[in-house]
């Protein structure tokens, strides 16, 4: 995985979804993330982070509920949602910064 600072240091909002393969509700986020990408295309960067492969980052960001979705803009955390989030909520939050 790229360095975290490089991932969020871009000119578009960055939506990061923390998940685990073993958590079914985490996997339901895949369709939601695809919908967000389909609608917003290159106006947003979407990244999935498996907490089992990125334990230090997950600990640093205090990920305790899966899935957790965090949105960064200009390297600042601007929104965080724990548990399943539908595309309507994510699009509403992202559109504030587009």
Chain centroid offset of residue 41 CA: 15
Question: What pLDDT does residue 2 have?
Answer: 76
* Tens digit of each residue's pLDDT (9 = 90 or more) over 27-84: 899 999 999 999 999 999 999 999 999 999 999 999 999 999 999 999 999 999 999 9
Question: What pLDDT does residue 1 have?
Answer: 61
- pTM exceeds 0.85 for this model: yes
Domains of the chain (ranges; CATH) run 4-89 (3.40.30.10)
Distance CA 82, CA 68 (A): 4
**Is the bond leading into 67 cis (omega within 30 degrees of zero)?**
yes
Supply 2's token pair: 């790229």
């Amino acid at each position: 995985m790229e360095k975290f600072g490089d991932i969020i240091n871009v000119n578009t909002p960055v939506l990061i979804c923390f998940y685990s393969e073993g958590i079914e509700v985490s996997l339901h986020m895949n369709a939601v993330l695809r919908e967000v990408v389909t609608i917003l295309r290159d106006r947003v960067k979407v990244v999935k982070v498996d907490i089992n492969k990125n334990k230090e980052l997950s600990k640093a960001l205090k990920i305790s509920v899966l899935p957790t979705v965090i949105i960064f803009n200009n390297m600042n955390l601007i929104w965080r949602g724990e548990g399943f989030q539908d595309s309507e909520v994510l699009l509403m939050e992202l559109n504030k910064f587009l």
